[in-house]
């Protein structure tokens, strides 16, 4: 998303104590891009980068949850 890594604290809080169901993971990871303002460049627009943050976060959490 940018030059500096950021934590998805809203997603972390939503996942804390949540069930390891696909629905819970998807709902929590919808907050992965909260508070971000990625730059636009030739590779991607900001809204697409935020979309990828949500999708890739959900995949990573689902894989980690087993």
* Whole-structure pTM value: 0.86
**pLDDT per residue of the chain (66 residues) written in tens, 0 to 9:** 777 888 999 999 999 999 899 999 999 999 999 989 999 999 999 999 999 999 999 999 999 998
Domain around 48: 9-65
The total of structural domains in the chain comes to 1
Q: 13 lies in a domain?
A: yes
Q: 1 lies in a domain?
A: no
Please report, for residues 28, 32, 59, 66, the alpha-carbon distance to residue 18 in angstroms, rounded to integers and kept in the order given. Answer: 9, 16, 16, 14
Q: 37 lies in a domain?
A: yes
Q: 43 lies in a domain?
A: yes
């Amino acid at each position: 998303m940018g030059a500096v890594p950021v934590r998805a604290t809203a997603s972390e809080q939503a996942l804390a104590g949540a069930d390891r169901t696909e629905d819970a993971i998807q709902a929590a990871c919808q907050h992965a891009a909260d508070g971000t303002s990625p730059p636009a460049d030739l590779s991607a627009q900001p809204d697409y980068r935020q979309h990828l943050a949500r999708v890739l976060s959900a995949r990573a959490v689902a894989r980690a949850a087993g």
